[in-house]
Amino acid sequence: MQLLAEFSSKNRFKIILKGIVQGVGFRPFVHQLATKWQLCGFVTNNGSGVDIEIEGSKDGIENFLSDLVSNKPPLSRIDNLEKEQVQIQNSSIFEILQSSSNQISTMLSADISLCCDCLREMRDKKNRRYNYPFINCTNCGPRYTIINNLPYDREKTSMDKFTMCAKCQEEYTNPNDRRYHAQPISCHECGPKLKYMNLLGEEEYDETKAIEKICSLISDGKVVAIKGVGGFHIVCDARNTRAVKFLRDNKHRPTKPLAVMFKNIAGIKKVAALSKKDEKLILSKERPIVILTKKENSILSELIAPNIDRVGVFLPYTPLHEILLKKLNFPIVATSANLSGEPIILNEKEIFTKLPLVVEHLLTYDREIVNACDDSVVQNSFNDVITLRMARGYAPYSFYLEKKASKKILALGGNQKVTISLAFDNHIVISPHIGDLNSIDSNEYFLRALNTLKRVYNFEPEIIVCDKHPKYATSCFAREYVSNNSNVELIEVQHHYAHALSCMAEYCLNEDVLAFCFDGTGYGDNGELWGGEIFIANESEYKRIYHFEELALLGGEVAIKEPRRIGLSLLFACFSLKEIKNMRTPLLDSFTKVEIETLYSMYERGINSPKSSSLGRLFDGIYSLCGYTESLGYEGESGLILESLSCKSKTKSTYSYTLENGVIDYKQMICQIITEKFNEKIAKKFINTLVKIIVEISQKYPTLPVVLSGGVFQNRVLVSQVTKALNKYYIQSKIPINDGGLSLGQLYFALKKSED
């Protein structure tokens, strides 16, 4: 009777988990839980996630399920848990079974920075992995950058060629070890090896000597290349102005800010002001570059981030970085190794062929980077974290759809800061940052990233979504793909509507919103360039209710690099040629009389002077009216300089404008600006005016939640003031607020349309 009672009290359940549950120590965690609660059965990886069968007492199973959700591994994420009771097998043990392959729908994990346990071991002289540059466990290390395919097993990564030594094999197969099935597991004996190389062909294979050599070169003011987890960095002493100038001159990067890596948080505090929120971001397991306000009289070279009061900082995120920074004991520039407009370089051959004038020395290793991945960039603004570039640590970014997608959807984004988004089954996946598609190499990189996601997820699109711009590389690709695959549907989504939708998607908004979509450029429904748009929008449609007065881009695309042309067009809109000739300003002094007359003629006749409602271009114009007449060194430079200037003024005043017939007319503001004496006041009053415009229009639609999206909202001063003034608003946080979020917005529209 007792045996019968024991048998009848047994239960067996099948549990299917989906989410980020592979490569994060989930199976050994399940094994430990089963042992803890005296349960039998098995756990295994498959293409969908993790399958579990557990058998035992009712209380044991309930406790197991509670722990499974509440105490899961730190890098894991459970998106969906399905449970069903199955027939009792009378198992006597709990096993971890070999992975099985079927339809792929588990989520890829992003690369994660070195964990505290591995760091402690690496610093322990008695530990066999002391100073090992590739130490990792299931809680840290490379994932996306080394994977060829799912399920995430060693033979499907670039670690496949490294045969584990006996000690590593023992850890790898021990369910109670934190390196159980840590696919990149290795040590000094069996893992990847460092190597120093230079342009002359000299090599050093002794790891200690290689590290000493590269550190000595950096200390001596040389610019070197170092292989990171997702590509090469160009590195130099961040204190050494001569070294930084050499890097800038030879990389043709005159003013764009350079990221700086510090040994620890104490070093960052010496050069930048940071809040507790900033510190939390910097110390997070994702280890992004965080944009901070510079302190005066910093030890950093003034060429790190010239003309602005911001600096991008981050901490070491790989064991190799930790070793190098400990030895150097000073901050280093660590910027992506690439040519302007091209993707990050992955191998040493390209370093020497593409950047021979920048880099003569490099530190590399023999594990292949399968998938390139840049560093992520984020910033805090008042109450909000804003993502500027979503890459290492955060991407591939995935989330779960409550309602299954009826078709497989591929969204391609725009032409700058490109990301790719997929929808299939109950999943959305967003690629890491790909970048601007302005070269052959960047387009090839785009195709490699797309093919990686298609291969890993066994994905072939049934719907492709792209921008309406007829000449974007992504739009051309989409149209060509559809022409060669007649069963695939093409959907085009207006650029700024996609901005609004990307924010709506992040917060799962399915209602009418008042969307302020401000950026540098986007193809409008009327064939003109938009960029200062206010919509009433929902998942299915939008209405343009306001936009900024259009300005003329004198010379077309040349005006984007040379903003003084935009400043001049603003003056043409407000004054006669005779009045302008009688003015004396630094802007007008930068042109000859003949140039002004020629450009005025172009303006009057509309010759090579496309119109744009872009707020980003208006920033360029105001920047030039402040007397800055040089060509821009990078996109958004004018906005950053105005932002820095505005922080030096305490004025609460605004300029005049009108809201009539759906147009924000700012000509009165231009007339007022040319009478101002101080640039700091111009910048602050301009931003104050933008805040006032947003608030005034919001008050006209008090029942609608406000959505803020587009690259202009990278401006921390603007966002801080706007969000303080609004009662209910949504601004992107996890998803890039700039064009990096477009693919998600496009996807959101297509998902809704495919349901109808």
CATH, residue 15: 3.30.70.100
CA distance 41 to 52: 8
Residue 595 resides in a domain:
no
CATH at 498: 3.30.420.360
Whether residues 544 and 690 fall in one domain: yes
Cβ atoms of 749 and 491 closer than 8 Å: yes
Domain of 723, CATH number, reads: 3.30.420.40
Count of CB atoms situated within 10 Å of the CB of 522 = 28
Does residue 140 sit in the same domain as residue 200?
no
What's the pLDDT at 8? Answer: 46
Three-class SS string for 384-409? Answer: EEEEEECCCCCCCEEEECCCCCCCCE
The whole-number pLDDT of residue 3 equals 37
Tokens representing 412? 């391609």
Residue 569 placed within a domain: no
Place of tokens 């700091």: 680
Angle at 735 between CA 732 and CA 741, to 5 degrees: 100
What residues in the chain have per-residue pLDDT under 50? Answer: 1-8
Q: How big, in percent rounded to 5, are the helix, strand and coil portions of the chain?
A: 35, 20, 45
Does the residue 590 lie in any domain? Answer: no
Half-sphere exposure of 102 (CA within 13 A, CB side): 8
- Indicate if 353 and 412 belong to the same structural domain: no
pLDDT attached to residue 103? 52
pLDDT at 104: 55
**Which residues pair with residue 140 across a beta bridge?**
137
Where among 141, 172, 192 does a domain terminate? 192
Does 620 lie in the same domain as 543? yes
DSSP secondary structure, 561-612, as one string: H-THHHHHHHHHHHS-HHHHHT---HHHHTS-HHHHHHHHHHHHHTTT--EE
Q: Does a structural domain hold residue 579?
A: no
Q: What is the pLDDT of residue 100?
A: 63
Considering the domain architecture, whether residues 361 and 303 belong to the same structural domain is answered as yes
Q: Do residues 221 and 203 touch, judged by C-beta distance below 8 A?
A: no
745 and 684 share a domain?
Answer: no
d(CA 405, CA 401): 8
Is residue 383 situated within a structural domain? no
How many domains in the chain? 5
**pLDDT of 363:** 97
SS3 63: helix
Whether residue 143 sits in one domain with residue 83:
no
Is 525 found in the same domain as 487? no
- 589 falls within a domain: no
Distant-in-sequence, close-in-space partners of 741: CB < 8 Å, separation ≥ 6: 419, 499, 502, 503, 709, 732, 735
Q: Give the CB-side neighbour count of residue 7, counting CA atoms within 13 A.
A: 8
User: Of 75, 96, 117, at which residue does a domain stop?
Assistant: 96
18 and 144 housed in the same domain: no
**Whole-prediction pTM value?**
0.92
Domain membership of residue 380 (yes or no) is no
User: Which of residues 192, 218, 249 is at a domain's end?
Assistant: 192
680 shares a domain with 542: yes
Residue 382 resides in a domain: no
Q: Which domain holds residue 90?
A: 2-96
CATH number for the domain harbouring residue 254? 3.90.870.10
pLDDT of residue 47: 66
Residue type, 680: E
Per-residue model confidence as pLDDT tens digits over 390-427: 999 999 998 888 888 999 999 999 999 999 999 998 88
Residues 370 and 233 both lie in one domain:
yes
My answer on whether 701 and 719 are in the same domain is: yes
Report DSSP letters for 139-159, one per residue.
TBB-SGGGBSSSS--GGGBTT
